[in-house]
Structure 1
Amino acid sequence: MNRRTFTKSLLSAVPVAGAFGSGAFAQGLRDITFVQPSPSAINSFPVFVAIGEGYFEEEGLKVTVEAINGSGAVLQALSAGQAQFGRPGPGPMLAARSRGVEAVHIYNVAARSNFGIAVQEGSPIQNVEELRGKVIGTGTADGAEVGFARNVMTSVGMVEGKDFEFLTVGDGGPATAAFLNGAIDAYSSSTADTAVLNQRGMAVRDITPAEFGRFFGNGIATMADTIANDRELVEGWSRAFARGHAFSLDDANRETVLKHLATGNPQEGEDKEFQSALFDAVRSKTIPTDTSNGYGWYPAEVWQEWHDSLLAGGEIPAPLDDLSAAWTNEFAAIGNKAIGG
């Protein structure tokens, strides 16, 4: 099986850590761009593995990865035609659709919630009800972690600006500093962010109510007009992505997968033990609780729950006219067929 090196990101607002290696791709491939809401290769592992294993090339595609800051920026890039595919959260995407941005989720990557609200290990706070009057840190101002936390807080009757505050502090070191200097009492973060904090000596524990585990996280999105006018592209992407996902779930391929991810983000690959542990944590969130429909499948009822929570929290001003237009399972089905599912 041919393996390919990665192309260097040329336009990254937040560059992926380290430069991708330059590689000689076969002539005649179509250049497309994938935007992700953080520099982590592990969080988008099926993309990097599909590039490294040559799956996109087999579909006639040459993929450039751009790392930008948060789901809001991902959706802006998609709507502006600067990228064909991205990985935004469902909350920001529904909010964007309420403003007329016709983005569509086509593959449920984080099938289990990959967000949570964490406090320091020694904090007296034991549950989200005890965050009344407190400050919750976030990595970005409009990322998926913000909508997730707002939904959690709304569920216990709290309103942003009245009962609690958000403070954008960034991730990694800045989040650690915000905890240490008392700027935040809790932190809404992804599985990866929490792992980084613990790895850097800032021990945290999750206080998210268990029922929010059903709220899937970031998934692959494209624009509705791309689906309508360039269906072959979306089908080809879906086959390659699903193959990268399936390859990564096979423990026999573990070392190869980690090498691909280290190529995509050398900084993540410097500490092999940490890279391996973080990959396990992120990968586990991509396996649905019910695999009868294969991988990448969206449950309609949870989309409705996302919608209703956003409506209750004021993130969308009115019910969407057609919630079903925000997502589709047809391309997940095509991807599963490509892996024999």
Structure 2
Amino acid sequence: MRLSKIAAAAAVLLVGAVSANAQEVRIGVCTPVIDASVGAPFAAATEFGWFSERGISVKVLPLAGSTDCVLAVATDKVKAALVAPESVALMATKGTKIQIFYTVFNRNMFGIAVPKDSPIKSYADLKDKRIGVVSMSSVGVVIARAALESTGLNPDTDAKIVVSGPPVQSNVLLKSGQIDALSQWDMFYEILTSIGLPMRKLMDPGIDDFPSNGFATISSVIEKDGDVLAAIGRGYAMGTLYMMERPEEAARLFFKHNPDKLAPGLSLDENVARSLPAMRAASRLRALADGQKQWGYSDPKKYQNYIDWLAKHGTPIAKVQSQEIINNSLLDKINSFDPKAVTNAR
């Protein structure tokens, strides 16, 4: 599907505070369904004016996957996007200089998982199995192929990667045996667990410390519109901290600003309770790493380790260096807030 059609079909989530003087900024997120684990930081930043006090309002545009997100950035459909580093590195090989200016997830959130009682115990057990991804443009495809390569399997012939869609659809396909495993992310697996299908990630300690998604844009935009990008990052960091410290309140704010996301037939309290496991999983991934002092910091060594692992296992990014795809120049502006004021916000 063409990017323009995806964008047109997707429901745009408005999370910017209404202000006559605010600059509207469009942000892509690489998932077709926005839930509280994704949207709560934006909602909190809206509720307490953390975007508007820096002169911006924000629209979040859900897209099918990281490939669509980096294309949206490259074609100026969005100011920035919350993308996986693999997609940014792949764009670098094509001469498009996109950089991550705020790393959101300091730990690896991607990986292959199976139902808790599945006989599959390792990557090697995936031979002749079907692995579901949210879309063929998602980073789950890259991760699945690399995982298969790492155990000596041919991702083109020894397993099948198929689209299994959002959690509800994936739940049906797993329970019916139409797929055997998923290549998704931790919050996705928490949602499946919360609706009655406990999931178990296949252990791979070697990838646990890899970074995951971050806000990225064209490098020239960082130079030209740094204040706008810093406003996005600052508001998001504040919203993230609020969600970590007060998850139930953050969930309520998400549904307040996005009532269309309430599951039909469930009360607000039930929707909040169902959202909390995925939100807590997201918070663990967003938490500052040991020794990290600033929200959004991109660690060059961790990024290089990830690039090297992907390249070793078949992703064509061997010549990419981490400094090409990260940019920490906005961090002082992003972190210009009082954490106590955030956690005490009412």
TM-score range, shorter chain: 0.7 to 0.9
d(CA) in 2 for partners of 1:189 and 1:271?
22
Matched residue, 2:106:
111
User: Following TM superposition, by how much is the alpha carbon of 1:102 offset from its aligned partner in structure 2, in angstroms?
Assistant: 1.8
Matched residue, 1:163:
158
TM-score, L = length of structure 1: 0.87
d(CA) in 2 for partners of 1:164 and 1:179?
16
1:223 aligns with 2:222: no
Matched residue, 1:331:
330
d(CA) in 1 for partners of 2:243 and 2:175?
36
1:98 aligns with 2:97: no
Query: Which AA in structure 2 matches 1:179?
Result: L
Match of 1:37 among 30, 34, 37: 30
Q: Is the 8 A contact 1:92 1:142 kept in 2?
A: no
1:267 aligns with 2:272: no
User: Following TM superposition, by how much is the alpha carbon of 1:59 offset from its aligned partner in structure 2, in angstroms?
Assistant: 0.7
Larger CA deviation: 59-68 vs 36-45: 36-45
Structure 2 unpaired stretches of 5+: 1-5, 341-346
Q: Is the 8 A contact 2:17 2:47 kept in 1?
A: no
Match of 1:69 among 52, 64, 76: 64
User: Following TM superposition, by how much is the alpha carbon of 1:183 offset from its aligned partner in structure 2, in angstroms?
Assistant: 2.5
Q: Is the 8 A contact 1:112 1:288 kept in 2?
A: no
Q: Secondary structure at the match of 2:70?
A: helix
Deviation above 6 Å: which 4+ runs of structure 1? none
d(CA) in 2 for partners of 1:12 and 1:47?
21
d(CA) in 2 for partners of 1:307 and 1:46?
28
Deviations along 1:149-178, one digit per CA (max 9) or x if unpaired, are 333333323331133221111121221222
Query: Which AA in structure 2 matches 1:181?
Result: S
User: Following TM superposition, by how much is the alpha carbon of 1:87 offset from its aligned partner in structure 2, in angstroms?
Assistant: 0.5
Q: Secondary structure at the match of 1:227?
A: helix
Match of 1:258 among 243, 251, 254: 251
Deviations along 1:167-212, one digit per CA (max 9) or x if unpaired, are 1111212212222332322111111211222222223211131222
d(CA) in 1 for partners of 2:318 and 2:17?
49
Matched residue, 1:28:
21
Query: Which AA in structure 2 matches 1:30?
Result: Q
Deviations along 1:228-256, one digit per CA (max 9) or x if unpaired, are 222222222222222222222323xx443
Structure 1 unpaired stretches of 5+: 1-9
Matched residue, 1:3:
none
Q: Secondary structure at the match of 1:45?
A: helix
User: Following TM superposition, by how much is the alpha carbon of 1:318 offset from its aligned partner in structure 2, in angstroms?
Assistant: 4.7
Query: Which AA in structure 2 matches 1:271?
Result: N
d(CA) in 2 for partners of 1:327 and 1:317?
15
d(CA) in 1 for partners of 2:290 and 2:136?
33
Q: Is the 8 A contact 1:242 1:338 kept in 2?
A: no
d(CA) in 1 for partners of 2:55 and 2:227?
11
Deviations along 1:2-61, one digit per CA (max 9) or x if unpaired, are xxxxxxxx9553326xx759x972221111101111222422432332122211101100
Matched residue, 2:51:
56
Do the aligned partners of residues 173 and 245 (structure 1) sit closer, same or farther apart at CA in structure 2, a change above 3 Å counting?
closer
Deviations along 1:241-275, one digit per CA (max 9) or x if unpaired, are 22222222323xx4431222212363366622111
Q: Is the 8 A contact 2:19 2:57 kept in 1?
A: no
Q: Is the 8 A contact 1:43 1:192 kept in 2?
A: no
Q: Is the 8 A contact 1:12 1:66 kept in 2?
A: no
Q: Is the 8 A contact 1:14 1:69 kept in 2?
A: no
Aligned pair count?
326
1:247 aligns with 2:261: no
Q: Secondary structure at the match of 2:335?
A: helix
1:315 aligns with 2:315: yes
